[in-house]
Amino acid sequence: MENVLRPLIVVGGSVVLTLLIGWATDLLMRKADQRQSETPLWGLLRRGRIPYQLVIFAALLRGSYDEARVLEAHRVGIGRTLTLVLIGATAWLMIRIAAAVVETTYTRYSRAQRDPARVRRVRTQVTLITRVVTAVVAVVAIAAMLLTFPAMRAAGASLLASAGILGIVAGVAAQSTLSNMFAGLQIAFGDMVRIGDTVVVDGEWGTVEEITLTFLTVRTWDERRITMPVSYFTSKPFENWSRGGAQMTGIVYWHLDHSAPMDAMRVKLRDILRECPAWDGRACDLTVTDSTPNTMQVRALVTARDADDIWKVRVTVREQMIRWLTDHHPYALPRVNTADSALPPGSNGARPAASPDGAPRRMHEPPRQSR
């Protein structure tokens, strides 16, 4: 009878104590979350109740298993298994606690800070810090699990003796991986690029969506994802439109005839921008920047709050200005004039008949009929 009651008491007592302690802890954190609703810490800590209960159960069962006297022949294996579960659950719980603390710190900072650029910078640093902590805890947990085996402890001396050679070989083999990891830390704390920044890489315009220790993801305007190693941003030049402020100046070009009404176009440009909600009102200008024998180049400068708005302003100004010129000043659009070419000396070819008024005709016009 004792052989049946003893294991039931040990295992059942461990389960009951685990459930009671877990329920009491969760109740306390729930009340603390309701009392201090301005901080998400207690709500985030509640996400770790599963590894917390697993740690309690494994610790209780590991400490009292010898008294249960169950499966005596497998006592060593079962004890080692419980130790491995305890180490893994503890690492899981530490990762959840660290993530809750880091996320709470970021939430408080984002609420108090009004500068979006600084918030994105802190978000990038917080993300990478969380990944580094997770990696470190996982490595330590795996090392602790391996040390529970006597064979691993016996081989410790030989492993330490060859650690230098293995370190050199691993460093050479993982050179690109290590460079990406250090580049990720440099990006996070050097404020080179942040999550949410608008960048141009390899001619592609997009927004930084994710930064890890080894790669970075850019979401383009057409919803594609470009993934590249973070070492790219520390070794090659790229455009960061969000650094130093999100405000931007855009350029719109037209190729027009020399007779284009510049003063009227300046007035029309101001009217178009006043009706465009994406224009921030900082500046607008319209000038002639170049001239060719057939056309002249007209440039409009416009401003907006960010990269998305500057794109809207540019396409709106370009479309409405061309429509206005077509409706009210069609002569300002580019034209190609043609005239009869001079025949070479001694040519027997017949010269084409010229128009009665002698004026050249446009390429798209049909030949004039003589009366």
Q: Is the pLDDT of residue 353 over 60?
A: no
* Residue 163's pLDDT band (cuts 50, 70, 90): very low
The mean pLDDT of 83-93, rounded to a whole number, is 86
Read off the tokens for 325.
Answer: 């010129």
> DSSP assignment of 305-352, as one string?
SSHHHHHHHHHHHHHHHHHHHHHH-GGGS---EE-PPPPPTT--SPPP
Distances (CA, A) of 325 to 265, 274, 289, 321: 9, 18, 19, 6
Q: Is the pLDDT of residue 63 over 50?
A: yes
Name beta bridge partners: 297.
255, 290
Q: Is the pLDDT of residue 56 over 70?
A: yes
CATH of range 179-240; options 2.30.30.60, 3.30.360.10, 3.30.70.260, 3.40.50.720 = 2.30.30.60
Q: Is the pLDDT of residue 53 over 70?
A: yes
* Residue 293's pLDDT band (cuts 50, 70, 90): confident
Give the per-residue pLDDT at 337. 63
Q: Is the pLDDT of residue 73 over 90?
A: no
Q: Is the pLDDT of residue 179 over 70?
A: no
Q: Is the pLDDT of residue 14 over 70?
A: yes
pLDDT tens, position by position, 201-223:
888 888 888 877 777 888 887 88
Top pLDDT among 314 and 23 is at: 314
Phi, psi of 19, deg, nearest 5: -65, -40
Can you say how many angstroms the Cα of residue 79 is from the centroid of all Cα atoms in its chain? 45
Q: Is the pLDDT of residue 66 over 80?
A: no
Read off the tokens for 254.
Answer: 């037209």
The mean pLDDT of 130-153, rounded to a whole number, is 77
Q: Is the pLDDT of residue 297 over 80?
A: yes
Top pLDDT among 151 and 50 is at: 50
The mean pLDDT of 279-308, rounded to a whole number, is 89
* Residue 20's pLDDT band (cuts 50, 70, 90): confident
pTM: 0.46
CATH number, domain 248-332: 3.30.70.100
Between CA 93 and CA 95, with CA 94 as vertex, the angle to 5 degrees is 90
Longest CA–CA separation in the chain, Å:
131
Least confident of 70-84, 200-214, 253-267, 281-295: 70-84
Every domain of the chain and the residues it spans: 2-167, 179-240, 248-332
Q: Is the pLDDT of residue 320 over 80?
A: yes
Least confident of 126-130, 178-182, 186-190, 283-287: 178-182
The mean pLDDT of 152-161, rounded to a whole number, is 51
Q: Is the pLDDT of residue 228 over 70?
A: yes
In the sheet where 248-256 sits, what is the strand order? 248-256, 296-304, 279-291
Q: Is the pLDDT of residue 136 over 90?
A: no
